[in-house]
Homo-oligomer: A and B are copies of this chain.
Amino acid sequence: MRNICMTVSYDGTAYNGFQTQPNQNTIQDVLEKAILALTGETIKVTSSGRTDAGVHARCQVINFYTASKIPVERWCMALNTLLPADIVVSGARLADDSFHSRRSAVQKTYRYTIRCGKHPDLFKRHFEFYHPTALRVEAMREGLAYIEGRHDFTSFCSVRSTKLSNIRTVYEARLECEPQDPILQSYAIHIYVTGNGFLYNMVRIIAGTLIQVGEGKRSGGAMLEILNARSRAKAGPTAMAHGLTLWEVLYDQDATIT
């Protein structure tokens, strides 16, 4: 059996998230069905992390074991022919037997995008959360800085989480602002969060709380108080799924999966 590792992007709009669920349309199901059609094997793919319903991936990483003899450089094109237009395999390589797309990952980056101002960008409407009024970007940036470092992220974790520990390290949290579009009179704010692991809904709760900071309902410093409180009830709402994209996953060696 060979361990094949792949980079996959998807538009999550039409899917009930990555992970297989009974009677749902998931990315995992569609990938496994394409692999079955290609190789005749019923396999299970592992991902670097589940993404929720409606969440996208620019660069998800998956791996699976196969007895197929298809050369690794052929997998990409062969699977893309079988996959719908909203899922693209952009890389495939052979991995060590020990490689596990989730456990071997050393860091992941998510991006949450908010478009704020007069009009949404309809060409990006499935990938940007639209906020009709301006946000106080500097206060958001200040608040975001507090989540960098090793913290107990209980406040920014869904109460439905079943993880034993809520301690994670955020290596970098930054906010980038695009220039205003003169026609739409709106601009995109991208929040990038890079960490060693993420709790259930973590980036969406951080984004939802930051939106309240941007609206002036909370100060930037409130992010620190919320973090210290270790209580989900202290944070803001979970921001909508469609603004979130799994941006990048890095591995110790062979970080570039081609």
Contact = CB atoms under 8 A, between A and B. Distances in A.
Contacts of A91: 183
A225 interface: no
B122 A9 contact: yes
Contact of A122 (B85, B122, B183, B184): B85
A14 to B, nearest CB: 12
A168 interface: no
Nearest to A91: B183
A90 B56 CA distance: 27
Nearest to A80: B119
A interface bracket (residues with beta carbon within 8 Å of B): 20 to 34
Interface in A155-207: 183-185
A147 interface: no
Interface centre among A59, A85, A90, A118 (most CB of B within 10 A): A90
A164 to B, nearest CB: 34
Interface in A98-147: 118-120, 122-125, 127
A185 B91 CA distance: 10
Contact of A88 (B10, B56, B88, B120): B120
Contact of A123 (B11, B183, B185): B11
Nearest to A9: B122
A73 B125 CA distance: 24
A208 to B, nearest CB: 21
20 contacts: A7-B183, A9-B122, A11-B122, A11-B125, A56-B123, A58-B123, A58-B183, A80-B119, A85-B122, A85-B125, A86-B122, A87-B122, A88-B119, A88-B120, A90-B118, A90-B119, A90-B183, A90-B184, A123-B124, A123-B127
Contacts of A185: 90
Q: Give the number of times this chain occurs in the complex, counting copies.
A: 2
Contacts of A85: 120, 122, 125
Given A86-B125, A123-B124, 6 more contacts: A9-B123, A56-B123, A80-B119, A85-B120, A85-B125, A88-B122
Q: Which of A58, A80, A124 gathers the greatest number of chain B CB atoms within 10 Å?
A: A58
A97 to B, nearest CB: 26
Interface in A67-99: 80, 85-88, 90-91
Interface in A218-236: none
A56 to B, nearest CB: 7
Contacts of A58: 123, 183
